[in-house]
């Protein structure tokens, strides 16, 4: 169970090698309360290293599961496997995705459809499966990595933003439906985060580090807001951008 200070005992991560997931686990292990971490991702040295990093912090049970978001059936199977094993799962962290080259992808509709599978379709199947298992269990939190770009798509990342908009909309609505059940959905909307995903891209204004997202996620587990902006000021920036007329918005250098 998540204690009154927001410290969970067990976490399932889909996106084992994600920098944001790694920072979040590093933050949660600091409580000394974590007993079980399940890391789901594509097998390989990066996932092995992620397992070793968590084990080195003293978490007694660290497990790895194979997960490939290109396969829509993979996420529900992974979630079921984690819940079927011994013990509850307090937090399910959905932290995978790709940020493709927008121009190249617009030339290749079938690659764009693959992006939809990875960033959206598998998020849908993972989210639905996680919510169902948590409801059966009677408690827990799903933390979904959305993006500030979900709120208003920009032409420079239009395809990526559209997948995040779908994820954000579903996760927010499911979270509302779950109110009062003991199960909740936290929707995380970071702006630009300096991680492997954004390496080589020019940092946007209000750029943050993965550790900032981790701190915000950890704070949300204490029961605060179910919509988490990182940094917080991003909420006000996006509120302004949402009502900016398209004729102005399309000229903005963002």
Ligand X SMILES: NC(=O)c1ccc[n+]([C@@H]2O[C@H](COP(=O)([O-])OP(=O)(O)OC[C@H]3O[C@@H](n4cnc5c(N)ncnc54)[C@H](OP(=O)(O)O)[C@@H]3O)[C@@H](O)[C@H]2O)c1
| Binding residues for ligand X (CB under 6 A) | 15-20, 41-42, 46, 67-70, 95-98, 118, 145, 147, 190, 192-193, 195-198
> Which CB sits closer to ligand X, 19 or 90?
19
Tokens of 221: 């587990």
> Which CB sits closer to ligand X, 178 or 188?
188
The residue with its CB nearest to ligand X is 97
> Which CB sits closer to ligand X, 30 or 70?
70
**What's the rounded Cα separation, in Å, for the pair 251 and 254?**
9
> Which CB sits closer to ligand X, 9 or 146?
146
Among 67, 83, 96, 160, the one annotated catalytic: 160
In the complex, minimum distance from the CB of residue 103 to ligand X, in angstroms, rounded to a whole number: 19
160 is catalytic: yes
In the complex, minimum distance from the CB of residue 60 to ligand X, in angstroms, rounded to a whole number: 24
Mention every residue, 6+ apart, whose C-beta is less than 8 A from residue 208.
190, 191, 192, 193, 194, 230, 231
100 close to 22: Cβ distance less than 8 angstroms = no
Mention every residue, 6+ apart, whose C-beta is less than 8 A from residue 254.
154, 156, 204
In the complex, minimum distance from the CB of residue 212 to ligand X, in angstroms, rounded to a whole number: 11
CB atoms within 10 A of CB 234: 21
In the complex, minimum distance from the CB of residue 149 to ligand X, in angstroms, rounded to a whole number: 7
In the complex, minimum distance from the CB of residue 49 to ligand X, in angstroms, rounded to a whole number: 10
Looking at residue 202, the DSSP 8-state letter turns out to be P
SS3 state at 233: coil
> Which CB sits closer to ligand X, 137 or 198?
198
**What's the rounded Cα separation, in Å, for the pair 111 and 77?**
25
- Indicate which residues carry an active-site annotation: 160
């Amino acid at each position: 169970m998540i204690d009154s200070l927001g410290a969970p005992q067990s976490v399932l991560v889909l996106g084992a090698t994600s920098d944001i997931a790694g920072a979040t686990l590093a933050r949660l292990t600091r409580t000394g309360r974590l007993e079980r971490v399940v890391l789901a991702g594509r097998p390989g040295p990066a996932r092995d290293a992620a397992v070793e990093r968590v084990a080195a912090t003293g978490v007694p049970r660290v497990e790895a599961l194979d997960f490939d978001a290109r396969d829509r059936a993979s996420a529900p199977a992974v979630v079921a496997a984690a819940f079927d094993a011994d013990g509850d799962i307090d937090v399910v962290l959905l932290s995978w995705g790709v940020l493709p080259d927008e121009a190249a992808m617009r030339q290749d509709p079938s690659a764009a459809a693959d992006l939809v599978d990875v960033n959206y379709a598998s998020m849908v199947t993972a989210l639905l499966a996680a919510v169902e298992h948590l409801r059966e269990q009677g408690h827990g939190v799903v933390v979904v990595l959305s993006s500030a770009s979900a709120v208003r798509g920009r032409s420079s990342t239009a395809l990526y933003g559209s997948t995040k908009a779908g994820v954000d909309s579903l996760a927010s609505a499911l979270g509302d439906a779950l109110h009062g059940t003991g199960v909740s959905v936290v929707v995380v909307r970071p702006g630009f985060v300096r991680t492997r995903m954004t390496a080589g891209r020019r940092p946007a204004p209000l750029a943050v580090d993965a550790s900032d997202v981790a701190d915000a996620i950890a704070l949300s587990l204490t029961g605060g807001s179910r919509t988490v902006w990182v940094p917080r000021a991003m909420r006000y920036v996006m509120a302004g951008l949402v009502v900016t007329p398209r004729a102005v918005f399309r000229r903005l250098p963002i």
